Structure 1
Amino acid sequence: MDFGIIGAGVIGQALAGHLVAAGHRVVLSNSRGPDTLGDTVARLGPSATAGTVVQAAAADMVFLAVRWQDIPAALADVPSWDGRILVDTTNQIAGPAPGDRVDLGSDTGSEFVARHAPGARVIKAFNTLYARYIAPDPRHAEGRQLLFYAGDDADAKTAFHVLADEIGFAPVDAGPLRDGGRLMQVGGGPLSALHALKQD
């Protein structure tokens, strides 16, 4: 599979690093254009290239790693998802303080994302982990970093599970997008900020 990443901040670069280390090709994108990512992709190596958001979104599996308030704009130019997998790593937080959480009513964050990416098979993942647990090698002497994920499409979930395991995480299926998303959601979800290791 080819992979795309929308958002080149700390999370996006960390995911790109894991994918490249596993031998995959990655297209990294941001809102400022590929010309601003030269140093980043050079550091990642020849398997990483810079592209537009549309080019990144053309990959088989795409990771969304932008700020919450940037989601609509980040996805607006993608004409069609055609069943491609979109991994939503975001949290509905509009600022640094706990009170900056965005109230979506009965919706989960990934349901909001899915509405902005019609035709995508959305997987929720990585949002329960602080960046400092995502960036380094998730394999430790004591075990592998647990990675919770949720989604509604069985094949997409299987593809994501295989990938997460390949790059070193211990993936755990948290259920469908709505129910699992609630468990993983910042501000009350019991899996949010749960950092634990699985012994192999």
Structure 2
Amino acid sequence: MRDAVEADTIILAVPFGEHREVAKALPSWKGKTIIDAMNALVPLEELNGLPSSVFVAKAFTGAKLAKGFNHLVAATLAADPIVEGGHRVVFLSSDDEDATAPVAALAKQLGFAPVKLGKLDEGGALVHARGRTWGRLIFQDLFKKEQ
């Protein structure tokens, strides 16, 4: 954990209820970008009606937060992202454009094709679980062919 929080960009992939414990690792997350790779199948009232990433962002004081790498199962994400001449798509959303750009760059570096969905409560809703319902793009394994 100590090594992980020293990075500028951190992929948060813990059971949803544990994110607050992770947030306690630093008094301020200023200068850090958190990639929320979690899915929260919890009642909406537990999130105060917010998208789960907005709820998570509140725990990481000062950090920039982007949703990403959450719509596919871990085994699929671990597989080669280049398939039949195309790159596996990862969806990204954030309320902070300054968070999306470095996450998109990381996704490209890893061989993925990042697709920006916009703000968390707009396009990002497509990759959020809401209550007990999955977003429409969760589990969609899509590929982008090079032109």
Q: TM-score range by the shorter chain?
A: 0.7 to 0.9
- Determine which structure has greater relative contact order: mean sequence separation of CA pairs < 8 Å that are 6+ residues apart, divided by chain length: 2
What RMSD over aligned residues (CA atoms) do the two structures have, in Å? 1.5
Larger radius of gyration: 1
Q: Residue in 2 aligned with 1:121?
A: 64
Quick one: percent identity of the two aligned structures? 35
- Provide, for residues 62-91 of structure 1, a one-character-per-residue CA deviation record: whole Å limited to 9, x for no partner: 111111121111212221011311111001
Aligned pairs for 1:171-186 (under 5 A) are 171-186=114-129
Structure 1 gaps, min length 5: 1-28, 30-51, 93-100
Aligned-pair CA distance for 1:124: 0.3
Aligned-pair CA distance for 1:142: 4.3
Structure 2 gaps, min length 5: none
Q: Distance in 1 between matches of 2:20 and 2:124?
A: 19
Matched, 1:69 2:12: no
Matched, 1:87 2:35: yes
Aligned pairs for 1:1-200 (under 5 A) are 29=1, 52=2, 55-92=3-40, 101-105=41-45, 106-186=49-129, 187-200=133-146
> Which structure has greater helix proportion?
1
1:178–1:118 distance in 2 versus 1, CA, 3 Å: farther
What's the TM-score, normalizing by structure 1?
Answer: 0.66
Alignment size in residue pairs: 140
* Partner-residue secondary structure (3-state), 1:178: coil
What's the TM-score, normalizing by structure 2?
Answer: 0.87
Q: Distance in 1 between matches of 2:5 and 2:44?
A: 25
